[in-house]
């Protein structure tokens, strides 16, 4: 025979409360259907079927204005920046 009792469990989880722009510090507003994903990233290293290693640089959280400013700085310094549209 199993003797049972009811217990109350408390579960803690880490959730994202808000996202702050890494450059200017303003809050990046998130809405249900609006997409705002930004990652400036460079990686280099070795990749083999059994594993790999490497290093990189990245900036993950930029507001729309800081993204545009970053691309302007890159263009002004001779980098090619390609624009594109997407839909699905």
pLDDT digits (tens, 9 = 90+) for 7-35: 998 999 998 888 899 999 999 887 777 77
Q: Name the residue ranges covered by the structural domains of the chain.
A: 19-76
Calculate what percentage of the chain has a pLDDT beyond 70.
100
pLDDT for 2 equals: 83
pLDDT digits (tens, 9 = 90+) for 62-71: 998 999 999 9
Mean pLDDT of the chain: 88
SS3 assignment, position 75: helix
Q: Report pTM.
A: 0.67
SS3 assignment, position 67: helix
């Amino acid at each position: 025979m199993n003797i049972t009792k009811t217990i109350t469990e408390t579960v803690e989880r880490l959730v994202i409360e808000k996202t702050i722009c890494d450059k200017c510090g303003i809050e990046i507003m998130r809405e249900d259907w609006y997409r705002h994903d930004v990652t400036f990233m460079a990686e280099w290293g070795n990749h083999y079927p059994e594993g790999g290693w490497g290093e990189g640089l990245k900036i993950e959280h930029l507001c729309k204005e800081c993204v545009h400013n970053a691309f302007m700085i890159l263009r002004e310094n001779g980098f090619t920046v390609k624009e594109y549209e997407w839909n699905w």
